[in-house]
Amino acid sequence: MCTNGHNLIELVDIEKIYRVGTELVRALRGVTLNIRENEYVAIMGPSGSGKSTMMNILGCLDVPTRGRYSLRGHDVAKLSQSKLARIRGRQIGFVFQTFELLPRTTALKNVQLPLMYTQATKKRQRAMAALERVGLSDRAKHHPNQLSGGQKQRVAIARALVQEPDIILADEPTGNLDSETGEEIMAVFDSLHAEGQTIIIVTHEEFIAARCNRVIRLLDGLIASDVQNAETQERRNVKTSKRRNVKTSELFRDSQ
Ligand code: ADP
Ligand code: MG
């Protein structure tokens, strides 16, 4: 098992080629990147640059044509279908632009859904706890059409959280929401990140990307840039100096 700070995700020279009739579409043309635990990453890039293709590969919904994908040090290509399905179900939480909630089902039941086919105990309590984490425990009995767009997306985030996944993958989670509601959703992601969750968000909006710690820009199936947000670096420096203080105090204790 990997501890905090190690690579959770390693992509090495990932290519994805789709065949459409006789034509080949090179959606990813050699993507190499590492993502550590508790990173908060925005993926940006124009339409058609390969963002969703990359998310599908990260989420084990699709396999690369070439290249290596390691998740927690395991080569994904070498895993059996059943193990992959387990990873998809347990280790990865998906959030979509269009929420994808079941319409005739309460918020609580929607959140409970990923637990339906598992041996999990206390399913209802776990779903309630997930709703609580997104601030919606008072809407558990509401149906999606009785919820605002932002609330629907919060239910979808709770559903992604209910299995306590290693990674949350969100493909344009604010794409169908106005900017104020987008901020509301980002506040939820911010707090999950503060609790230690690893989050990867595809977005077209600079104000969304600015809240993440790292911004990866794709262009024509390649990484055009990959930068840490300045604020994060500052925070990292603070963390380092805090760590130094701890060490200093330990030294102090030793000398007594
Ligand atoms: P983005 O999410 O950045 O808009 P996509 O990853 O959806 O980009 O698409 C990247 C390229 O791959 C595009 O040229 C798109 O047309 C093509 N593509 C995506 N999915 C498929 C598919 N299932 N079959 C064929 N071509 C696809
Ligand atoms: Mg897309």
* Average pLDDT by stretches of 10, the chain with 256 residues: 69 97 97 97 98 97 96 92 88 96 97 91 95 97 98 98 96 96 96 97 95 97 94 56 40 37
Instruction: Find all residues with CB under 8 Å of 241, minimum gap 6, and list them.
Output: none
The verdict on the CB of residue 53 being under 6 Å from ligand 1 is: yes
pLDDT of residue 235: 59
Alpha-carbon distance 87 to 245, whole Å? 39
Strand order in the sheet with 74-75: 23-36, 7-20, 66-71, 74-75
Exposed/middle/buried for residue 123 (C-beta within 10 Å: 0-12, 13-18, 19+): middle
* Structural tokens at position 163: 């299995």
Q: Which atom of ligand 1 is found nearest the CA of 28?
A: 10
CB 25 less than 6 A from any atom of ligand 1: yes
218 Cα nearest atom in ligand 1: 3
User: Which is it for the CA torsion 225, 231, 235, 237, positive or negative?
Assistant: positive
What distance in angstroms lies between residue 48's CA and the mean position of ligand 1's atoms? Answer: 6
Q: Give the closest ligand to the alpha carbon of residue 53.
A: 1
Confidence (pTM): 0.89
Count of alpha carbons within 13 Å of 193, Cβ hemisphere only? 20
pLDDT at 78: 92
- Measured by CA distance, the residue closest to atom 14 of ligand 1 is 48
Element (H, E) at 67: strand 66-71
What integer pLDDT is reported at residue 120 of this predicted model? Answer: 86
- How far is Cα 102 from Cα 126, in angstroms, rounded to an integer? 19
Residue with the two structure tokens 């044509």: 65
- 18 CA: nearest ligand 1 atom: 25
137: helix, strand or coil? helix
User: Which ligand is located closest to the Cα atom of residue 43?
Assistant: 1
The candidate with the shortest Cα–Cα distance to 106, out of 158, 162, 146, is: 146
φ, ψ for residue 183 (rounded to 5)? Answer: -60, -40
CATH superfamily of 37-62+81-252: P-loop containing nucleotide triphosphate hydrolases (3.40.50.300)
Q: Are 217 and 45 in contact (CB under 8 A)?
A: yes
Helix intervals (H) in 50-148: 51-58, 81-90, 107-112, 123-133
Please list all protein residues whose beta carbon sits less than 5 angstroms from ligand 2, which is an ion. Answer: 51-52
